[in-house]
Amino acid sequence: MFLDVRRASALLVAALCALLLFPVQALEARRAIGQFTHVWYENELPQGTVLSIAQQADGAIWLATYGGLARHSGDGFETIDPRVAPALKSSAITAVSADRKGGLWVGTLNGGLYRRQGRTLEPVPMPDGIDSVFGIVDDTEGGLWLTTNAGVARMANGAPRLLGDADGFPPRGFYRAIVADRAGGIWIAADGVGVVHWHDGHARLYDERDGLPSNAVYSLTVDASGAAWVGTQAGPAFFRDGRFHRDPRAAAIDGKRIYSLYGDRDGNVWFAPLDVGLCRLTTDTFSCDNTLAGLQGETVRSMFEDREGNLWIGTTSSGLHRLSPSKLVTVTGQMVSNAVRAVHQVPGGPLWVGTDGAGLSRYQGSALQPATDYNRQLPSQLVRAILSDAQGQLWVAGTEGVTRFDARGHARNFGLADGLPGTIVFAFAPARQGGMWTGTLQGVARIDGSKVDVVEGTRGDDTRALYEDPDGRLWIGLRSGLRCLTRGTVDTCGTDGLPGTSVFAFRQAADGSVWLGTSVGIMRIRDGKVTRYLERAGFHGDAVFALLDDGSGNLWFSSNRGIGRLAKAGFAALDRGEVQQLAPHWYGISDGMLNAQGNGASQTPADRSEDGRLWFGTAKGVVIVDPDRMQGNPQPPPVSIERLLVDGVDLDPQRAGRLGPGVERLELHFAAMSYVAPSAVRYRYRLEGFDRAWSEPGAGRAAYYTNLPPGDYVFRVMASNNDGVWNEAGAQLRFTLLPQWHQTWWLRTLVALLALGLLGALVRRRLRSARERERALTHEVAVRTDALREANARLELLAASDALTGIANRREFTRRLQLAWDDHAERDAPLAVLLIDVDEFKAYNDSYGHLGGDTALATLATHLADSLRSGDDLAARYGGEEFAVLLPDCDADCALALARQLVADVQGLALPHRASSVADVVTISIGAASQRPAQGGTPDALLHVADAALYCAKADGRNRALPAK
């Protein structure tokens, strides 16, 4: 078996068990529709009308469009139409449905019905007169129901039968929708007639006399309780006790055309009324949202909830949309700017948000609503800080001074004329002696009533944060240091003043110490001692703009890398020496943020509201963190080996079997079907029989091997979802590489036998010869032995070389690296490697063809080999467009210098590359790493460090060399 069928069956069973052991939620009812992660797959489908959506047992999402059948496995869409599947008679796909046995049924317009098993589409014979299939469902008895151009058909045991008047179905008409319920019934919407319910062999027609809002029924669904819902020309209704009923909670869409509706697994019902947007009925609420990009004014034709709880939405013209659960919620508003610089909840009152260009807004109705009356009184719409005082007054800092709003919303503005030392204001802190401490670009002042008193010792200081502790000491965070105001004296708080460090946030701890968010990470001051949690806590020059305590033992912070979390117990363990390193848990775009950049450099870019939620201002909206409701994804993702390319020829992975002889290049493409955050899916793979360890390409979805020796192999791949939950069973592919004639056992045996025969003849001749021939005969044996040694050497050289480029192959590189590692470990010498990737080489192949690509690779390989320092260096083709260079006795500086010279030299070759976004010539990216083997580690660890540096070089723009960090 080439792709182990028993293992595949076991994986299918495991996937079904996972649904039971790890139940996932639908889109959380507490969140507003606009607070889910929304992805619009615009212009990625073969055609923009999505009529039907299904998920197959392997996790792939299938879409029916008028331009072909589309398959989505998390990275792009594969189109199946008559060009790639000649069995298809029509590219207009009207229905798609996955059955309980892992198969996929496909209905077409004027092309009949098809079933897909594996990678093959096979037509299904249908009764005469059936040309088009519009809907497909299967019932609890294994029967397949179809709505067709000729009416309703049921197929049992492979034999379809058209149902008609005698079965209780109305005369031939157009059936718009069909669904199956858990009780074994089938519901069918008959255009202009009503709804047909088939159960236990009997059909019953329901129409307006039975409570239907209209006989023009467009859509059907069955909710989590088993109740059938209909969408009609006059609104929705549900079936109970033999009649249809309107739900008064959804009265807002009565009279609206409901072209699509869907019941999710948590009991919510989704509606798509014409010109209303997307609506949802939960246990407690009914709401609609018409703000989702690409859905305004659209007609929704299909909805589907996958196993992870994602809701897929197919439209008439704008393609496919996806709503996904996320740990974080990003809230924006209809404003000229959603760059949030300040967040503050008034105790017992509203949550205020200050923006960079749209003034103040409030969090209302799950969105940001501009505070028009307040903004009209602000001298600047560029807000930097917000705070309220005990008198119920709201203080707003901006680029034109301070505005104080009284309880009635009347403003009093303060500027230079009132005594402020600067008009750009960043910070507030309530003053115990009355009024508000105010931090400006030019110093600190206290505003009390109408009086402004400047702290003279701070004039000219760029102040970013303020905090008055219980002892009455005012902590002052500066753009370049730390100061304290104690009984009228400005000092450095008993520290060195943190010169060159920006202080953006203060957070008082229960033990009296003060946490600081700074431009280089988190610090803590306790009894005058400064503890810096920088690289040891995972901060590598990362600014921390805000610090929040969630009350459950964690510190949360914002930075330009996103929002992070660290347990306070981890800091204590670090202090005691129990651990040497902390790693923050970072949250970013894949977790629900629209922009990972946290806005800061001012006093209040984040706040904790009274309900325990944390609010962080970002460059695009305010992000809500609910520590008690961080919805995770417990589902291990299904993994599939999607493609196998053998020397560029696409083969069915399930029929790999025996390959060759003479195979030079293998490409294996794989996918994990997790859609909550596809960019966060990670992979590991290993070729048993060749790889000594697992390779971790991160988000890469392909593995490349060149010049593998003949033998039996098993390729294994596993993947994790966005929450790091791994499917360790993964997928596997068994195959055998056949040897070429000179690599066969029989040839080697024949050569050995011939050699033995020759040796025997020589011996017999020697015995018969006289003593005087002994010297000549000995010389002859020596000559032939040398020839045999040279032949073996040539064979070894051939096995160690890359057939395309002529330089060493990956196997030889691995062997030489291990030898060099052992040698350098004994000598305590530095050993370096370079990992090289040809920038955008796929685009080069697409533009110049594989022959052009092979020529370019050979040219680059020759240049690399000629650029080595000495004969001890080794250049090798590592796989695909990757090269590796082994540099004995080479430290990090030497390796980086050579790497940068290679980058410049390759660009200097001026090989044209018209498809590159980096340059108009071929360029390379290099990761350089050097270690002393005597100090520990492994060759694989050295390669991993170089690979990480290569990844950084590519992420940093390519056409460059970067050292390992």
Residue 20 banded pLDDT, cuts 50, 70, 90: very low
Reduce the DSSP state of residue 256 to 3 states and report it. Answer: coil
DSSP 690: T
Q: What's the pLDDT tens digit per position in 36-93?
A: 899 999 889 999 999 999 999 989 999 999 999 999 998 889 999 999 999 999 999 9
Dihedral (Cα; 222, 223, 228, 233), 10-degree rounding = -90
Average pLDDT over residues 732-748: 79
The C-alpha atoms of residue 906 and residue 900 are separated, in whole angstroms, by 10
The pLDDT > 70 percentage for the chain reads 93
Does the pLDDT at position 552 exceed 70?
yes
What is the rounded radius of gyration, in angstroms, for the C-alpha atoms of the chain?
35
Region class of 269: left (phi > 0), else alpha (psi between -120 and 50), else beta:
beta
- The answer for 224, left when phi > 0, alpha when psi is -120 to 50, beta otherwise, is alpha
- pLDDT score at 451: 96
C-alpha to C-alpha distance for 340 and 556, rounded to whole angstroms: 18
Question: What residues contact 130, with CB distance under 8 A and at least 6 apart?
Answer: 112, 113, 146, 148, 149, 150, 153, 160, 162
Model confidence over 655-691: pLDDT tens digits?
A: 888 998 989 999 999 999 999 989 889 999 999 999 9
Instruction: Output the six-digit token pair for 345.
Output: 């909840």
What phi-psi label fits residue 22: left (phi over 0), alpha (psi between -120 and 50 degrees) or beta? beta
What is the reported pLDDT for 311? 97
Residue 424 pLDDT > 70 = yes
Cα(106)–Cα(460) distance, integer angstroms: 73
Give kind and range of the element (H or E) at residue 859.
helix 841-866
Per-residue pLDDT, 777: 60
Q: What is the pLDDT of residue 782?
A: 62
Residue 23 has pLDDT above 70, yes or no: no
* pLDDT for the residue 416: 96
**DSSP result, 281-329:** E-SS-EEEE--STTTTTPPEEEEEE-TTS-EEEEESSS-EEEEE--SEE
Q: Which helix (H) or strand (E) holds 259?
A: strand 258-263
Pairing of strands 726-737, 657-659: parallel
On whether the CB atoms of residues 556 and 625 are closer than 8 A, the answer is yes
| pLDDT above 60: residue 24 | no
Q: What is the pLDDT of residue 674?
A: 92
Cβ 59 vs Cβ 673: under 8 Å:
yes
Q: How far apart are CA 413 and CA 390, in angstroms?
A: 19
Q: What does the pLDDT read at residue 550? A: 94
What is the mean predicted confidence (pLDDT) over 520-535? 95
Q: What is the mean pLDDT of residues 839-864?
A: 90
pLDDT at 581: 95
pLDDT given for residue 505 in this prediction: 96
Is pLDDT at 157 greater than 90 in this prediction? Answer: no
Alpha carbon dihedral 426, 432, 433, 439, in 10-degree steps, equals -10
Question: Band of the pLDDT at 366, cuts 50, 70, 90?
Answer: confident
Tell me the per-residue pLDDT of 920-938, one tens digit each, with 9 for 90 and over.
999 999 999 999 999 989 9
Q: Residue 699 has what pLDDT?
A: 81
Instruction: Supply the mean pLDDT for the chain.
Output: 90
pLDDT bucket at 746, cuts 50 / 70 / 90: low
| pTM of structure | 0.71
Confidence (pLDDT) at 88: 95
Question: Which pLDDT band, with edges at 50, 70 and 90, does 368 fall under?
Answer: very high
Q: How far is CA 194 from CA 189, 211, 273, 694, 868, in A?
A: 6, 10, 19, 59, 80
Element (H, E) at 898: helix 892-909
How high is the pLDDT of residue 35?
Answer: 87
The pLDDT > 90 percentage for the chain reads 72
| Predicted confidence (pLDDT) per residue in 603-639, tens digit | 889 999 999 999 999 999 999 999 988 878 888 999 9
Is pLDDT above 50 for 551?
A: yes
Q: How many CB atoms lie within 10 A of CB 501?
A: 21
Choose between 718 and 792: higher pLDDT.
718
Instruction: Say whether pLDDT at 336 is over 90.
Output: yes
Q: How far is CA 64 from CA 68, 104, 105, 108, 497, in A?
A: 7, 12, 11, 9, 65
CB 693 within 8 A of CB 686: yes
7, pLDDT greater than 60: no
Question: Is the Cβ–Cβ distance between 579 and 567 less than 8 Å?
Answer: no
DSSP codes joined into one string, 136-187: EEE-TTS-EEEEETTEEEEEETTEEEEE-GGGTPPSS--EEEEEE-TTS-EE
On whether the CB atoms of residues 503 and 427 are closer than 8 A, the answer is no
Does residue 362 contact residue 368 with C-beta atoms inside 8 Å?
yes
319 in Cβ contact with 48 (< 8 Å) = yes
Residue 261: count of CB within 10 angstroms of its CB: 25
CA distance 288 to 275: 11
